Structure 1
Amino acid sequence: MSCPVLLVAAPASGQGKTTITAALAHLLHARGKRVQVFKCGPDFLDPTWLALASGQAVDNLDLAMCGKADIQRRLALATQHNDVVLIEGVMGLFDGSRSAADMAALWSLPILLVIDSSSMAETFGAVAFGLAKYRPGLRIAGVLANRVASERHAGMLRASMPPDVPWLGQVMRQQKDKTPIPSRHLGLVAADEMSDGHARIAQVAESLAQSDLGQLDWSQWQERWGVEIPAPASDDPPTRLLEGRRIAIARDAAFSFIYPANVAFLREQGADVQFFSPLAGDALPECDALWLPGGYPELHANTLGTCHRLAADIREHWQAGKPIWAECGGMLALMEELHWPSKDMRESLLGVISGVVTQHDRLRGLGMQAWDTPWGRLRGHGFHYSTCETSLPVIAHTRRLLAEDAVDEASQLECVHAQGSLRMSYFHAWFASNPVAAAKLFTP
């Protein structure tokens, strides 16, 4: 049975992919359709807007980090249990060694091209032509013009289109805010930090509803963009590796970089997951293992520095030999002090371990990575603006991930620190890439 699928792509970052994908999910959801959205690449922030719009958790898809079988399994399940599947691409359509175009080609996914028409007229058609013709064999669903200034502007854009590339209409530039979803360092502001998130998406969806795409009836969606994706052959991965274990996970504005797929993995492996909020003053729940995920501890250092009870709980947990996995921002939160030179700021952190975090205004780590653990290769990525100085021993370094089964052997990226039952790194792990290694992060 086929299901309509659209991969939303663009010529580059900043064209409005997230806004358009969220608006389309909102529009379809409002019409009574069950919508599942995915995000290409290792991203924690765009998915918050896509989840808000669709009403469902959003998983990430990356050919290196996740692997082909993992992606196919998720897409197959999504097409079986939803009315429509949307996939937001990453960067430009052809960017990267594992581009959105590569993913589209593997499963013959229809591609919706979103092009920012700001400061552009007839050249719009040339950009659309190039995207549609650059790689033969791709299934181009059509082109949608974004940030259109007026109906006259829309007419010029449409007239410039090549005759064999479908025009799917336009979304007008928003009057109050040219970029309805604001950004800061690391990416978009998360949807749950915006009190008017729904209204921002709905405003764009209202314009999208007037486009040719928004006016299509459902039979046309199924006829044009139906895709059948079979489930991959089962490789019988290990299961119930965490049976009976209770895992506490910090989750709030300081610890928000959590893949829903990783939480689902823990539960599928038999773990009892307990969330708690350090910023709300929560104590550490009774647990067998602790996960401190990434997020924005640097924006909440003044609060974290006052969480003395939680710091004592974590020390006691560590001294008892219970596992702790501290990932990126979770690692930073454990340190003694945050130094942010450009803001002339020094703040205390939890102070569980000896170390100083320096926050920079430019990227200090970015890219797909792999950690060769004693239990096999665990894949993931790194993305951070800070650096960290600590005396905790380094037990390994991650390496640059080139493909699902290939790394740059000569590279040496993020440190993996360990002492006793504590492991920590800037490395963000995709748990399903190696179930045994991931489960070992939470077992003695």
Structure 2
Amino acid sequence: MKATVPAAMITAPGSGQGKSMVTAALARLHRNAGRKVRVFKHGPDYLDPMVLEAASGQPVYQLHPWMTGEDECRWRLTEAAQDADLVLVEGSMGLFDGDPSSADLAKLMGIPALPVIDARGMAQTFGAVALGLASFDPELPVHQVIANRIGSARHGDMLRESLPDGISLLGAIPRNEAMSIPDRHLGLVQAGELGDLDQRLDAAAEVLAEAGLDGLPQEVTLTAEAPKPPPRLLEGVRIAIARDAAFSFLYRGNLDLLALMGADLTFFSPLTDSGLPETDALWLPGGYPELHGAALAANTAMRAAIRQHHAAGKPLLAECGGLMACTENLVDKKGDSHTMLGLMPGRVEMAGKLQALGLQSLTTVQGELRGHTYHHSRLDTGWSPVARTRKLAGTEAEPVFCHNGLVASYFHGYFPSAPELVAAIFRGEPIRVKENQHA
């Protein structure tokens, strides 16, 4: 499989430079011009892809050489390039932050990096920052940069004049309310919570057009081999997946894998539905249960239905926010306690700061499930974990709890990294942990 397409890695010197909104606005700008735009996100992120999907009107997948694997990175980009007019990849953190970094992914795919640099309070130093990004790794092409949040046209001219030979200014974006999206403790507010998101994106696209950012990046040629289809280990297995404002952290790659393995997927809302669909297994993904504690507690019919499912020993995967919902009580940021499902003893309490962050994996006889952890709550339970994840980077490894068909952890897994293990979980089979990952 081979394809040539205009492509760029939208990155930055660090977080908070505005690259997420610039990426979304670029996608909407070119979509509004009649182009098919495919956008990807580097690293484990749920919230940015929601906005990028709304901006581009196309599905957004995560790319990460370690978590999703190098071959999958090549395949997803090359497949998208078959019929796309533009491919954009939004980086994570700073260009060279992390291992593998956004720069590593750009080099792997042969895509040039296009840094977004917040130019507030900066003049000639802008050129020094751009030069540093372009020269830090000679193997990474950086030919253009974007200035963000400039104060005036003269400010933009000063930034352009500061750039060294070989680096040009693609555009200078003025400070504008259209170039911002509300955020909260886990990142951007979910796209579905913004009733005016389309209007915001159109306004942001217009800001970029006026800043001269309506041109296409240089073309790149992408090549990859299509992956072998996964074994159909979930043929006929019905999986009901929680999906609403409280539970929404779902990788498209995870859903695709379940379907390719033969599972029959349905969705339900723990917030508003009074019962479960006919199902063999449940999946409670991550999300924001702490923002909806009162509503979850008030839905006694749903709580009874999920408790009945668990009492019957049927499989239930609970990830992060799903784990929080499985405890007896959830204490939100205001200190209010809400009754949860009570499938595992103890409670979770929102903390004043981040409690865990980083790439991790769970190694079992059935495969190595790769993923990450990111949460602001603390768990207090009498249960002993059957295993702990292995920390690749970041904070402490996460415990994994298993009881009567329930598998619960703060750990978010990327299912395609371990199809056999994922199938075992949803079939209710024991997780066979390797010796070095026992708790």
TM-score by length of 2: 0.93
| Alignment gaps of 5+ in structure 2 | 429-439
Which range moves more in the overlay, 118-127 or 16-25?
118-127
Contact in 2 for aligned 1:141/1:225 (Cα 8 Å)? no
User: What is the CA distance between 1:148 and its match in structure 2?
Assistant: 1.2
User: What is the CA distance between 1:415 and its match in structure 2?
Assistant: 0.6
The C-alpha deviation readout for 1:352-404, integer Å capped at 9, x for no partner, is 332211110111111000011231211110000111122334110001126xx
2:285 corresponds to 1:293: yes
Contact in 1 for aligned 2:315/2:405 (Cα 8 Å)? yes
Please tell me the root mean square deviation across aligned C-alpha atoms, in Å: 1.7
Distance 1:374 1:282, change over 3 A: farther
Secondary structure of the residue aligned to 1:354 is coil
2:361 corresponds to 1:370: yes
User: What is the CA distance between 1:119 and its match in structure 2?
Assistant: 1.1
- In the alignment, the residues of structure 2 paired with residue 41 and residue 361 of structure 1 have an alpha-carbon distance, to the nearest angstrom, of 25
Contact in 2 for aligned 1:338/1:348 (Cα 8 Å)? yes
User: What is the CA distance between 1:265 and its match in structure 2?
Assistant: 1.1
Q: Which residue of 1 aligns with 2:398?
A: 414
Partner AA of 1:421 in structure 2: G
The C-alpha deviation readout for 1:54-109, integer Å capped at 9, x for no partner, is 01121111121111112111111111131111100011111112111111111210
Partner AA of 2:343 in structure 1: V
| Alignment gaps of 5+ in structure 1 | 403-407
Which range moves more in the overlay, 376-385 or 141-150?
141-150
Q: Which residue of 2 aligns with 1:131?
A: 133
- In the alignment, the residues of structure 2 paired with residue 300 and residue 63 of structure 1 have an alpha-carbon distance, to the nearest angstrom, of 35
Contact in 1 for aligned 2:39/2:88 (Cα 8 Å)? yes
2:209 corresponds to 1:225: no
What is the number of equivalent residue pairs in this alignment?
Answer: 426
- In the alignment, the residues of structure 2 paired with residue 266 and residue 386 of structure 1 have an alpha-carbon distance, to the nearest angstrom, of 29
- In the alignment, the residues of structure 2 paired with residue 141 and residue 49 of structure 1 have an alpha-carbon distance, to the nearest angstrom, of 27
Distance 1:348 1:321, change over 3 A: closer
Which range moves more in the overlay, 60-69 or 13-22?
60-69
Q: Which residue of 2 aligns with 1:435?
A: 419
Q: Which residue of 1 aligns with 2:5?
A: 3
Identity level (%): 48
Contact in 1 for aligned 2:249/2:285 (Cα 8 Å)? yes
Partner AA of 1:8 in structure 2: I
Contact in 1 for aligned 2:356/2:396 (Cα 8 Å)? no
- In the alignment, the residues of structure 2 paired with residue 344 and residue 419 of structure 1 have an alpha-carbon distance, to the nearest angstrom, of 29
Partner AA of 2:155 in structure 1: H
Contact in 2 for aligned 1:255/1:294 (Cα 8 Å)? yes
Partner AA of 2:291 in structure 1: L
- In the alignment, the residues of structure 2 paired with residue 238 and residue 153 of structure 1 have an alpha-carbon distance, to the nearest angstrom, of 54
Q: Which residue of 1 aligns with 2:36?
A: 34
- In the alignment, the residues of structure 1 paired with residue 165 and residue 284 of structure 2 have an alpha-carbon distance, to the nearest angstrom, of 53
Q: Which residue of 2 aligns with 1:346?
A: 337
Q: Of residues 23, 30, 54 in structure 2, which corresponds to 1:52?
A: 54
Secondary structure of the residue aligned to 1:256 is strand
User: What is the CA distance between 1:344 and its match in structure 2?
Assistant: 3.0
Q: How does 1:169-318 map to 2 (within 5 A)?
A: 169-174=171-176, 176=177, 180-214=180-214, 216=215, 221=216, 225-232=218-225, 234=227, 236=228, 238-318=230-310
Partner AA of 2:347 in structure 1: V
Q: How does 1:321-332 map to 2 (within 5 A)?
A: 321-332=313-324
Contact in 2 for aligned 1:238/1:436 (Cα 8 Å)? no
The C-alpha deviation readout for 1:132-177, integer Å capped at 9, x for no partner, is 1111122224111111111111111111111210210111110x46
Q: How does 1:77-92 map to 2 (within 5 A)?
A: 77-92=79-94
- In the alignment, the residues of structure 1 paired with residue 367 and residue 344 of structure 2 have an alpha-carbon distance, to the nearest angstrom, of 28
Moved over 3 A (4+): none
Contact in 2 for aligned 1:397/1:412 (Cα 8 Å)? no
Contact in 1 for aligned 2:230/2:257 (Cα 8 Å)? no
- In the alignment, the residues of structure 2 paired with residue 121 and residue 110 of structure 1 have an alpha-carbon distance, to the nearest angstrom, of 25
Partner AA of 1:425 in structure 2: S
Contact in 2 for aligned 1:311/1:352 (Cα 8 Å)? no
Contact in 1 for aligned 2:230/2:260 (Cα 8 Å)? no
Contact in 2 for aligned 1:8/1:87 (Cα 8 Å)? yes
